[in-house]
Structure 1
Amino acid sequence: MKYHASRRVWVVAASATVIALTASGCGSGAGDSDGKTTLTVTTQVDYGYRDLYKEYEKSHPGIKIREVLVDDLPKKLVTQLAANRGASDVVGLGDDTIGKFKPSYQRFVNLADHGVNNTDDPWVQWAYDYGTVEGGKYVMGLRTDIGGLGICYRTDLFKKAGLPTDPERVGQLWPTWDKFTEVGEEFRAKVKDASFTANTGDIWVGMENQHKETFFSESDDSLMADENSGLKQDFLTAANMSVRKVSGGYPPFTPEMANALKTGKAATAVCPAWKLDRTKEASGPGNSGKWSVAAAPQGGNWGGSYLLVPKQTKHTKEAVELARWLTSSKIQKRLFLSKGYLSSHPSVYNDPTVQAKKDAYFSNAPTGKIFAEAVDKMQPIYRGTKDSDVATAFMNALLRVEQGKQKPEDAWSQAVSDAEKVAGD
């Protein structure tokens, strides 16, 4: 089960979109017969840029933009970089996969050579820094959105359990993930026909993103999961949500989970900002006003991406200008207000208009304020060059516990062993 992507769509909707948009293929842009320069932008999922591409083309009449979605972009990009051909003019990589390409950073344009810095239109420092190498001298990628972290919850089911429904009071119920589990047990004692939370996989992603180091050591990029006592404790806390019947075990981003959200079989789900629209899609218009959003235990982040420009492009200047425009604070503010993607620019997520944003589907919860506060609690996270490779071992381990095939401690031990094989340690 492959899961550790920054933004995922529900499986039932993903395949057709990918096929339709990849039919035109990938590869660097070239001059069209009408004299325009075509720039190809390839991402793994929809970044919400479609209307922006049209706007950019109007303001830049010499530019034409071709959008491509590739389901397994990191794998294909490795091949394209090795062959020195086939890569797009601009590529989008999740914050969990960009580390995989840092050893090959010289195959990407150093955006610092084109005037990019973190002074003129600054990103939040930790997000900007993670897109750089050589101590910040080599700017490899420009940060798009960040996720923030919240908990979506069904107000109707919370009422049934005798729990508060106001976002502020709900957030106060669970200052820690252990308290979250305790609330889940209280819920299950009163509501027999619904699980408290959809699955432990989403919980785990939120948890691991609250650590400065996760699977790998920042000092030498060596696998350190088994030495990270805090990470292990979080894994056991998540796994025990299955044992204690708090989790429904609906696999992330599947029709089963979508149906659970729609039919009220799960009372909560982990929600970074970008996932609000996915939750609406899964739950359906009939459940508008039955959902709300509260702060997640301990704040944090899930998601976000970077735009990079491979050196293969024949249109470096134009590609850099497009990437810079798409990741600017002006555009990111519009993307949050229109699509809910939380900006990686402090000037945006601290903007009064953004902070005042509410979502009618989620009972007019103050989503702008909730997600901005979550980001303010963030600390820089180190992800190893093989982070996305070993993450699957831990997700699969949680799945085995949910299926009753392993106990939490045994699942952790096997996950570490499987990760060591993948990492080559």
Structure 2
Amino acid sequence: MRTIRNGLVLALGITMTALGATACNGGGGDQQTPAAAAPNEHVDLTLATFTEFGYEALIPEYERLHPNIKITHRKTGEGGPYHQDLITKLAAGSGLADVAAVEEGHLSDVLDKGSKFNDLSKIGPADASPDRWLSWKYDAAKTKDGKLIGYGTDIGPLAMCYRKDMFQAAGLPTDPEQVKPLFASWDSYFAAGADYAAKTHKAWFDSASQNFNAMVNQLPTGYIGSDDKLALESNQGIKDAWTKVTDAVAKGESAKLVAFSNEWNSGFKQGAFATKVCPSWMLGVIKEQAGPDNANKWAVTAAFPGGGGNWGGSYLTVPTQSKHPKEAAELAAWLTAPEQQVKAFQAKGNFPSQVKALTDPALLSQTNPYFGGAKVGELFAEQAKKVQKPQYKGPGDGQIQENAASPALQAVEQGKSAADAWNQMVEAAKKITR
């Protein structure tokens, strides 16, 4: 989630064309939509994002292409406060930008408020068709009644990162192709970790919650069922993931670090763990936190336990509060076009969600010197294609991950029994979904 990522890459986009007199809204009933501006009429648009979307150079480019458009970019540093403010302004019915970003971890909190967003499938430009995006990215922004409230920007396809020097010291293979069998499944991953911890007395991974979150996101159903009711206690997949992760903690595989804490940041420099669940944006975190002294010690491989997965990414929405929805949607569509997604990737590392962008030579040729010259563009494009249909995330899903699951797993790492911590997680989840 973007709030957890603490200021790293994720982005999104939206589109609209000429608007009819009315647009169907997901909340029931019709909504009068403002008319489009006259040709060359001056239009002021606001764009609200958080952390890094890579739009700094794109905004002036769009203004040059559209001399009658002036864009004010409201950029905030933290995703958590940003989304709290967005929900508040949705309820108040005023104060929102013409184009507002929503991170995938918070998408579930706005999908049930479809009446407050324009349906982009009805008002968007003709070239912003569903096949523009990876299908799972496009479909995730649909309300239950089929309304499209957001156009996808970046994604966070999952791979695995590991310390080559620590693997070598433990007698493990270090070549990215040779290590793939270790990451073939969660069973093989945790089995390798148990052997590693027993042999070296060092941690295999950084945090139980980081692995658990990735495992839960791979399931057909997560914390919330399609009926928007808590499915935690009846979800066998979550129970199995819990057992595997907590067993690994008991075997000494976890470094017991809270993700994005100062101690976790320092852990990269100190070699506190040997492997890391690695969405595309994590490479930037590792480089920043591990520092130049650890260049070429970290490697990334095109493998992930259980096949594939996604962690991160955003959407651009056009709230019905906008007085210029047509122009707002056109801006969002342009920002999320393949050409602009590649530029954002080159600027900030935001990995594209558009099918055409994933075959762009500028993306596929991208390498990362810090990771031994790994062909990261090609690698993550391959991983992105392994993701299947999106898991439904009902209201409160992201809050359960952050405020129920993660604290409970931290309690296990501090000595609480897995059974008691499970009950802690369930009770916290119930409070969130009341």
TM above 0.5: yes
Distance 1:97 1:78, change over 3 A: same
The amino acid that maps onto 1:8 is: R
Paired residues in the alignment total 395
Q: Structure 2: how far apart are the matches of 1:305 and 1:181?
A: 31
Aligned equivalent of 1:21: none
- Aligned residue for 2:343? 334
**Contact kept? 2:366, 2:375, Cα under 8 Å:** yes
Name the structure 2 match of 1:92: 101
The structural deviation recorded for 1:379 is: 2.2
Q: Write the deviation string for residues 289-328 of structure 1: whole angstroms up to 9, x where unpaired.
A: 1111022212211111111111112222222121111111
When residues 336 and 399 of structure 1 are mapped into structure 2, their CA distance, relative to the original with a 3 A threshold, is: same
Alignment partner for residue 307 of structure 1, among 296, 316, 331? 316
Query: What are the superposed Cα offsets for residues 35-56 of structure 1, whole Å, 9 maximum, x if unpaired?
Result: 9644322223222222222322
Any idea what SS the aligned residue of 2:187 has? helix
Paired AA for residue 376 in structure 2:
T
Specify the alignment match of 2:206 in structure 1.
198
Matches within 5 A, 1:247-266: 247-266=254-273
Q: 1:374 to 1:412 in 2, by over 3 A?
A: farther
Is this contact kept in 2: 1:10–1:255, CA < 8 A? no
Distance 2:219 2:280 in 1: 20
Question: Take 1:340 and 1:46, find their aligned partners in 2: how far apart are those partners?
Answer: 9
Q: Which of 393, 397, 404 is the matching residue for 2:408?
A: 397
1:146 to 155, 168, 178: 155
1:229 maps to: 236
Deviation at 1:204, TM superposition (A): 1.4
- Which of 269, 287, 300 is 2:294 aligned to? 287
Q: Which amino acid aligns with 1:411?
A: A
Of 62, 68, 71, the residue aligned with 1:64 is: 71
Encode CA deviations 1:173-219: one digit per residue, 9 max, x unaligned: 12111211121122223434x4221111211121111112101112x
Q: 1:43: which partner in 2?
A: 49
Structure 1 gaps of 5+ residues are 12-34
Deviations 1:120-148 (A, max 9, x none): 76111121111122543x22101111100
Q: For 1:54 and 1:279, how far apart are their aligned partners in 2? A: 31
CA distance in 1, matches of 2:429, 2:133: 33
Q: Which residue of 1 aligns with 2:352?
A: 343
Closer, same or farther: CA 168–355 of 1 in aligned 2, 3 Å? farther
Query: TM-score, normalised on structure 2?
Result: 0.85
- Following the alignment from structure 2 to structure 1, what is the Cα–Cα distance between the partners of residues 168 and 353? 35
1:212–1:379 CA contact under 8 A, matched in 2:
no
Task: Kindly indicate whether the alpha-carbon contact (under 8 Å) linking 2:194 and 2:248 is maintained by their aligned counterparts in 1.
Answer: no
Distance 2:130 2:426 in 1: 43
CA contact (8 A) 1:93 1:307 kept: yes
**TM-score (norm. length: structure 1):** 0.87
Q: How far 1:248 sits from its partner (Å)? A: 0.2
Residue of structure 2 in register with 1:125 after alignment: 135
Q: 2:288 aligns to what SS in structure 1?
A: helix
Q: Does 1:365 align with 2:374?
A: yes
Counterpart residue number, 1:274: 281
Residues 200 and 134 of structure 1, relative CA distance in 2, 3 Å threshold: closer
Report the AA paired with residue 47 of structure 1: F
Distance 2:327 2:259 in 1: 38
Q: Does 1:240 align with 2:251?
A: no
Supply the RMSD in Å over aligned alpha carbons: 2.3
Supply the distance in 2 between the matched residues of 1:330 and 1:196 (Cα, whole angstroms).
39
Cα distance in structure 1, aligned partners of 2:278 and 2:50: 20
Give the CA deviation at 1:351.
Answer: 4.2
CA 1:247–1:238: 2 relative to 1, 3 Å: same
Are residues 10 and 334 of structure 1, via their aligned partners in 2, closer, same or farther at CA, if it must alter by over 3 Å? closer
Change (3 A) 1:335 1:70: closer
Secondary structure of the corresponding residue to residue 412 of structure 2: helix
Instruction: Indicate the residue corresponding to 2:30 in structure 1.
Output: none
For residues 408 and 352 of structure 1, the distance between their equivalents in structure 2, rounded to whole angstroms, comes to 48
SS in structure 2 of the partner of residue 197 of structure 1: coil
Which secondary structure does the structure 1 equivalent of 2:411 belong to? helix
Which residue matches 1:178? 187
Which residue of structure 2 aligns with residue 81 of structure 1? 90
Q: Kindly tell me: are residues 102 and 328 of structure 1, through their superposed partners in 2, closer, same or farther at Cα, counting changes over 3 Å?
A: same
Distance 1:423 1:371 in 2: 35
Question: Distance in 2 between the 1:149 and 1:200 partners?
Answer: 17
